[in-house]
Structure 1
Amino acid sequence: MTQLVQQVLDRRKELDEKTSAIRRKLQTYPDGKLICTRNGRYIKWYHSDGRIQTYIPKKKREYAEQLAEKKYWTLRLNELVREQKATEAYLRHYEVELLSSTADPSELFLTDSPASGELLTGIQSDNSQTIQEWLNSPYQQNEKYPEQLIHKTAGGIYVRSKSESLIALLLHMHGIPFRYECELQLGEIAVYPDFTIMHPKTEKIYYWEHFGLIDDSSYVRSAMAKQQNYIANGIIPTIQLITTYETKANPLDTETVEKTIERYFK
């Protein structure tokens, strides 16, 4: 058993405990959910039972706070459950048998509206506001060949290969914020790097391209042209551009991904 697999097993056990604790916590909150609206600089809170919205006056702020916290913990639980499933898939990929375990999740970023977030005074995120906003902002993704997006990742997105799934999982486990196939304009050409990453400490942007068919000469020519395009636009391999490679005989492994993450982001 590799050190990484043992870490995943240990962290998966922690995740079982965390999801159980959150489920118990959710039982203590009132029914329904919070709806926030903004009119200029004024914010109004409403309780919704799924059919009717009832205004919550400012004097009942504590009630609104409970509903906001309920929303936060519900989102967090959903994230942990998704990562649990992804971790199980990862362990199955490496043929590790589990009896009882779970993985420690990466940080859940607040995905509710700023109006709801204003009520979460007791909950802090380890990541900067810049990173949270970057993660929560919509972006243009690659729309070509959607039928190839068949591998589900820890964050709930779909990628095109097992190697990309491995990269996404380990980025997620290390708390490295990323976007998948986010549009990047290089001169007049739009490209879609496999991963666009914001450094969790410096907030600088990096791009990670994984080249998975290095046995194929036509693929190699295309990969070289892609790298030359990056260089022509000031994105230099080993500096802002991270590259990994594999062949059929030498597939991408966890050690390579771990060392790459350590080199650039730790």
Structure 2
Amino acid sequence: MKNTLIHKYKHYTKLLEILEDRKEDVEGVLVLSKSHANTQYYLRTTDNKTGNTTKTYIPVQNMDMIKRLAQNQYHNKLKKLLLKRLKQISSILKDYDDFELENVYDSYLDDRKKLLVPLILTYDMKVEKWLSKHHTPLPPIDGDFVITTKNGELVKSKSEKILADTFYDYGIKYKYECPLTLDSGHRIYPDFTFISPYTHEEIYWEHFGMIDKEDYSLNTIRKLELYQLSNIFLGQRLIVTFESSKTNLNYEIVYALIKKYLLRED
């Protein structure tokens, strides 16, 4: 939630800058009234010294001024709301942490922790509990390339080993080819499964290594569709990387994805 609030704060600030750039050089308030199904336009101005208001008819021929007045009022209304929301968000961000409830337990020394039964599991507790549920990856088919990772499991491609070893080096806990039953009833085996450090939900990483082969690419499309039909969407709970006969695994992208989805910024 904190990242969402920060994103909104930046977005609202940018909108305010746009409003300032587009400020109309007109004064007063546009007033609309109906007369025999016709719309009439008036300019209402206020004397700053006396507080008296004046209402002046604007001929329809002066539509450019009418539109500028209307646009200015719309911008002013937006500006007022944006300033209100920015103030609220700023106040929340000063005293908000997504993980403050679980951090209460972590704030205690180990001797005191031993006396407690935590009501809210910390992220590390959830991951350890999740890892304790064992699974069996898909067995290799005859002729499959098999290689051992730093974590000790057998994977079926050099790229999968590179990914697994990178996760290991970062201290990221994962499951390799952990079975997942989708809403459609299909059982699939995502290459890697994690517990998100942000949402504490399972998230999945699929590496598609032969994307330029026709049958493989068609199967990739079908698999991605199955994910989406189960409300597992790219950029949310699904991470993907690709390779082809002409392009290798892009490490810069891998590191960026790890930083974005798998490493929590405290």
Q: TM-score, normalised by structure 1?
A: 0.50
Structure of greater Rg:
2
